[in-house]
Structure 1
Amino acid sequence: MAVGPTIGTGLFIGAGQALAVGGPASLFLSYIILSFLTFAMTTSMAEVSTHRPSRYGTLVTNSYLYMSSGVAFASSYLRWYTLAMFVPYEITTAMVNLGLSKPGATIAIRLTIITTIIVGFNFLPDRLFRSSERLFTLIKIGTMATLFVLALSIGLGGVDGHTRWGFKYWKHPGAMNEYIVHGFWGRVLGFFQCLLDSSIAFTFAPELIVHHTEMPASVGESTLLGTAIPGSVSSDVVQTAFPYIMSSLAMGIMAPFNETRLTNNGTGSGLSPYTIGFKDAGIQIVFTLATIAILLSSVASGRSFLYLSSRTLCAMSEQGHAPSVFSIRNRWDVPYIAVAGSALFSTLAFISVKIPSSIMNSYLLRIVTSGGFISSLVGCTIHRHFHRRLRANRITTRHRFAMQSLGTYFGMVVSAALLLAGGLWGGPKANVTGTRAARVITSYTNIGVFGLLFLLHRFRSLMPIVEVERPIDMEGRRHGDREGPEVQPHKTPSNRGNLDAIPEDSGAFELRLSHNMFTEPRVPRE
């Protein structure tokens, strides 16, 4: 599973909030819609990546190739920042899973332990970290499958001595919850808020799936990978979506939407529907093991997101889009300065020492999901600009998915709608997770962040990138480099990679393509 390292973000805890606000039917439908959205976005990105696979990641690379440099700068830094914000989200998720919501010294000690584990793992040698990643991924996939089987066994009466639950929670209190208002429109609003809360499990999934296929890319493998990407990403989407959809169905069996433990009595994030169901079934050993497994998933996901964010920052540096200091690696191939810079965001989790971790977790959820929606919009825009320039130069595509370009337009509409609907979280009067103004501002913070980054790029001359000089030894290696001859990283211009761009103020979108950009023959003129 391509997104296996990030399992645990919303599948266990975030789904509880979604279930509470929308009900089991809304949760199930939300996962189906988000799975279809993931497929649409993945195929959109894959069509672009088949022409130019990149080990640096499709969004960062292709935004600089096909978008204006200002949009590329803003989307790249927003991606890094959002991935880094996942780390404190996962840390607070671990606290919520343990039932530790009250601020105090106990929270501070546990936050320190979990943060140290997450950051410490990322300073391990790169090869060792990747080996441990495979192990943690297998553990989390096993946890997901085990919880699903146990939920169906208990809920459908497969365990001796326990009452058969079936789908009783779909009947009482009901399949769909009302949100803000009563009646039909209340259920509609509940469904939309459920869709928003459920999206945490799918955030950045399309890019991770495509990048998982691109990772082996090298100079001699690009053409081969370009032909392998379409089939690989389709398989990865199915492997990701199907278990998620089935898990959402199982969680709707385990707890009713009016269960107060799902939202910690309405304050924010609460327990997983799985742990609530196991506890209510009176199987203490399963409840304990499920709590430990979900805790492990949260910690493992935190270390994975810190790895992704630090490597994103390092890749931006190697391509010339970030200060060169972040590309420095030690002898174990660890970009330790990029890791340290990304790890600074994890300190936000310590706000839970002053306010309940369930509240802090809810605020972080809104921030990371809105960042994901903006990245999806940029990805769709890249796809449209890419094909516009192909047509302008009369070049055929290597692969065309059957659902494109309709899938791209669907992705743009849904992503924009979810981004704009984020303020629904500020609707309920009785919600005690903060003032309405604070909740609404948090939901739209990343729109302002994206705009500020765009404007900052316009004044980039005021922020010169400082090249860091490292002493060279007698064998031609710089201090801190790995063994072997020094290899200067390839840095692309900060404008648009290998493309010769027409000045942005001309209002034109066409680009003059370099000879090594595409290898397909031109379509003969009619």
Structure 2
Amino acid sequence: MAIGPTLGTGLFIGAGQALAVGGPASLLLSYILLSLLTYTMTTSVAEVSAHMPSRHGTLVTNSYLYLSSSVAFASTYLRWYTLALFVPYETTTAMVNLGLWKPGSAVGSRLAVITAIVVGSNFLPDKTFKASERLFTWIKIGTMATLFVLALALGLGGPDGQTAWAFKYWKHPGAMNEYLTRGIWGRVLAFFQCLLDGSVAFTFAPELIAHHAEVPPIGGGTTILGSEIAGKVTSDVLQTAFPYIMSSLAMGVMAPFNETRLTNNGTGSGFSPYLIGLKDAQIGLIPTIATIAILLSSVASGRSFLYLSSNTLCAISEFGHAPSIFSTRNRWNVPYIAVATSSVFSVLGFISVKQSSSLINNYLLRLVTSAGCISTLVSCAVYRHFRGRLKVNQITHRHRFAVQPFGTYFGLFVSTLLLLGGGLWGGVQGRVNGPRSMRFLTSYLNIAVFALLFMLHRFQYILPVVEVERPIELSRRRWADQGGPPEVRLPKSQNRRRNKLDAIPENVGAFELSLSQTGFEGA
């Protein structure tokens, strides 16, 4: 699974809020729709990446190639800080998990230990960290599979001749909940809010899947073909979507939507539906083991997101769009300054010492999901300008997916709807704790952050941005030695008001021709 390292509480616990607000049918339909959105946007990103694979992936490269430098600057820095925000999101979710399992007042010490593990592990040698990533990924995949099997067993009858649960919660209290109002519109709003809450499990999935397809295996060949990227993308999306959809079906079997433990009595994040079902079934030590496994998933996901965030910042620096100090690596290939900088955001998790962990986790949930919608919109813009550039220069696509360009229009519509409707929960009174102003702020703050980053870059005489000139590297290098394929080092244009035809330097075509020739010569 391409996003296995980031698989965590978005599925195990975050889905509990979605179930509580929408009901089991809405949860299942929302995961199906989000899986479809992931597929369409992944094919969009992969179609661009297949034209010119990059070891830095889509998080940095393509926005600078196909959009204005100001939009690229805003989107890459937004992605960096959002990936860093996932760290306190995961640590506060771990606090919720621990607090509901074993209540206590030692929130600060628990949080300090978990944060120290998450941050400290990112200073391990790169090879050691990646080896541990594979181990934690298998643990999380095994946890997901085991919980699904347990849900299936309970649905079919459970232990010692226990009555089969089947789809009893679909009948009582019902398949779909109502939200804000009664009747059909209440169910529509409940489904939409369920879609918003469930989207955290799919945030940045298209970029991560496409990046995974671009990176060759250690010791592999020196070229990645567009057809190879397309095949890996399709496989990875299926490996991600199918277990997510089946898990959403299983969670609807394990707990009813009116169970107060799902939202910690309306505070925010609560118990996983799996844990509620296992506790109610009273199957010995199984609930405790499942709680520990989900806790490990939170810690492992926090490690992975910090790794992604620090490497994104390092890549921005290597491309010359951030101070070169962030690309400094030690002898173990760790960008330790980028890791330390990204780790600063983990301090936000300590707000839960004074406030409810469930409430803080909810605020962070809104922040990361809204940033994910903005990232999707930027990917749609990249694809549009990419197609326009190829058409103007009469260049043939390396690979085309049948679902495009209509899939991009679908992603544009759904992401815009989710981004603008993110403040729906802010209008609720009496059902969600926390000031209404904070609910609206966390839902729309990233729009202001994106606009601010754009303006700061556009008007650099107000706040100069350090951009280091890098020469264009056209020489052939071994991927296994350098950690990736030859990169196109884009010279910084003095004219900041570039149009879409100037977004790709003219030497890109020459680079592609040279790359294809060397590939044939080596074959």
Q: TM-score, normalised by structure 1?
A: 0.90
CA contact (8 A) 2:68 2:503 kept: no
Distance 2:27 2:351 in 1: 30
Aligned-residue CA RMSD in angstroms? 2.4
Question: Secondary structure in 2 aligned to 1:54?
Answer: coil
The residue aligned with 2:64 is 64
For residue 442 of structure 1, report the CA deviation from its aligned partner.
Answer: 1.0
Map of 1:277-426 to 2, 5 A cutoff?
277-426=277-426
CA contact (8 A) 2:377 2:412 kept: yes
Distance 2:211 2:61 in 1: 11
For residue 203 of structure 1, report the CA deviation from its aligned partner.
Answer: 0.4
Distance 1:338 1:224 in 2: 28
**1:139-176 superposed Cα distances (whole Å, 9 cap, x missing partner):** 10000000000011012214324221110100100000
Tell me: CA distance 1:135–1:446, structure 2 relative to 1, closer, same or farther (3 Å): same
**1:291-337 superposed Cα distances (whole Å, 9 cap, x missing partner):** 00100001000000000000000011011011111000011000000
Distance 1:65 1:241 in 2: 30
Tell me: CA distance 1:284–1:187, structure 2 relative to 1, closer, same or farther (3 Å): same
Count of residues in correspondence between the two structures: 498
Distance 2:496 2:362 in 1: 43
Where do 5+ consecutive residues of structure 1 fail to align?
A: 468-483, 522-526
For residue 460 of structure 1, report the CA deviation from its aligned partner.
Answer: 3.0
Distance 2:164 2:102 in 1: 35
Tell me: CA distance 1:111–1:168, structure 2 relative to 1, closer, same or farther (3 Å): same
**1:70-109 superposed Cα distances (whole Å, 9 cap, x missing partner):** 0000000000000000000000011111235999850000
AA in 2 matched with 1:328? T
AA in 2 matched with 1:209? I
Tell me whether 1:231 sits opposite 2:231 in the alignment.
yes
Question: Secondary structure in 1 aligned to 2:119?
Answer: helix
For residue 517 of structure 1, report the CA deviation from its aligned partner.
Answer: 4.2
Distance 1:345 1:383 in 2: 31
AA in 1 matched with 2:61? T
Tell me: CA distance 1:55–1:258, structure 2 relative to 1, closer, same or farther (3 Å): same
Question: Secondary structure in 1 aligned to 2:333?
Answer: coil
Question: Secondary structure in 1 aligned to 2:9?
Answer: coil
Distance 1:217 1:465 in 2: 34
Distance 2:348 2:329 in 1: 26
For residue 223 of structure 1, report the CA deviation from its aligned partner.
Answer: 4.2
Question: Secondary structure in 2 aligned to 1:238?
Answer: helix
Where do 5+ consecutive residues of structure 2 fail to align?
A: 469-480, 518-523
The residue aligned with 2:489 is 492
CA contact (8 A) 1:101 1:357 kept: no
The residue aligned with 1:513 is 506
Tell me: CA distance 1:384–1:506, structure 2 relative to 1, closer, same or farther (3 Å): closer
The residue aligned with 1:168 is 168
The residue aligned with 2:138 is 138
AA in 1 matched with 2:466? I
CA contact (8 A) 1:314 1:335 kept: yes
Tell me: CA distance 1:204–1:267, structure 2 relative to 1, closer, same or farther (3 Å): same
**1:167-195 superposed Cα distances (whole Å, 9 cap, x missing partner):** 01001000000001111100000000000
Distance 1:115 1:333 in 2: 22
AA in 1 matched with 2:183? G
Tell me: CA distance 1:427–1:222, structure 2 relative to 1, closer, same or farther (3 Å): farther
AA in 2 matched with 1:405? P
Tell me whether 1:504 sits opposite 2:505 in the alignment.
no
The residue aligned with 2:474 is none
Tell me: CA distance 1:158–1:282, structure 2 relative to 1, closer, same or farther (3 Å): closer
Question: Secondary structure in 1 aligned to 2:159?
Answer: coil
Question: Secondary structure in 1 aligned to 2:176?
Answer: coil
Distance 1:409 1:209 in 2: 20
CA contact (8 A) 1:151 1:251 kept: yes
Distance 1:3 1:505 in 2: 35
**1:246-282 superposed Cα distances (whole Å, 9 cap, x missing partner):** 0000000000000000000001110000000000001
**1:18-70 superposed Cα distances (whole Å, 9 cap, x missing partner):** 00000000000000000000000000001000111111121310000000000
Distance 1:517 1:415 in 2: 34
The residue aligned with 1:51 is 51
Distance 1:35 1:495 in 2: 38
CA contact (8 A) 1:17 1:263 kept: yes
CA contact (8 A) 1:52 1:222 kept: no
Tell me: CA distance 1:2–1:172, structure 2 relative to 1, closer, same or farther (3 Å): same
AA in 2 matched with 1:504? R
CA contact (8 A) 1:102 1:356 kept: no
The residue aligned with 2:464 is 463
Map of 1:107-122 to 2, 5 A cutoff?
107-122=107-122
Distance 2:151 2:398 in 1: 44
For residue 518 of structure 1, report the CA deviation from its aligned partner.
Answer: 3.5
For residue 509 of structure 1, report the CA deviation from its aligned partner.
Answer: 6.2
CA contact (8 A) 1:103 1:352 kept: no
**1:101-131 superposed Cα distances (whole Å, 9 cap, x missing partner):** 9998500000000000001110000000000
Tell me: CA distance 1:268–1:136, structure 2 relative to 1, closer, same or farther (3 Å): same
CA contact (8 A) 2:31 2:248 kept: yes
Distance 2:224 2:368 in 1: 34
CA contact (8 A) 1:318 1:491 kept: no
Distance 2:77 2:503 in 1: 25
For residue 9 of structure 1, report the CA deviation from its aligned partner.
Answer: 3.2
CA contact (8 A) 2:67 2:503 kept: no
CA contact (8 A) 1:87 1:305 kept: yes
For residue 214 of structure 1, report the CA deviation from its aligned partner.
Answer: 1.3
Tell me: CA distance 1:330–1:246, structure 2 relative to 1, closer, same or farther (3 Å): same
AA in 2 matched with 1:25? A
AA in 2 matched with 1:5? P
CA contact (8 A) 1:53 1:217 kept: no
Question: Which has the larger share of helix?
Answer: 2
The residue aligned with 2:16 is 16
Distance 2:445 2:308 in 1: 22
Question: Secondary structure in 1 aligned to 2:51?
Answer: coil
**1:425-453 superposed Cα distances (whole Å, 9 cap, x missing partner):** 11221134212222011100000000000
Question: Secondary structure in 2 aligned to 1:50?
Answer: helix
Q: TM-score, normalised by structure 2?
A: 0.91
CA contact (8 A) 1:359 1:433 kept: yes
AA in 2 matched with 1:244? Y
Tell me: CA distance 1:171–1:518, structure 2 relative to 1, closer, same or farther (3 Å): same
CA contact (8 A) 1:3 1:208 kept: yes
Distance 1:224 1:351 in 2: 45
Distance 1:420 1:391 in 2: 32
**Residue range with higher mean Cα deviation, 451-460 or 18-27:** 451-460
The residue aligned with 1:477 is none
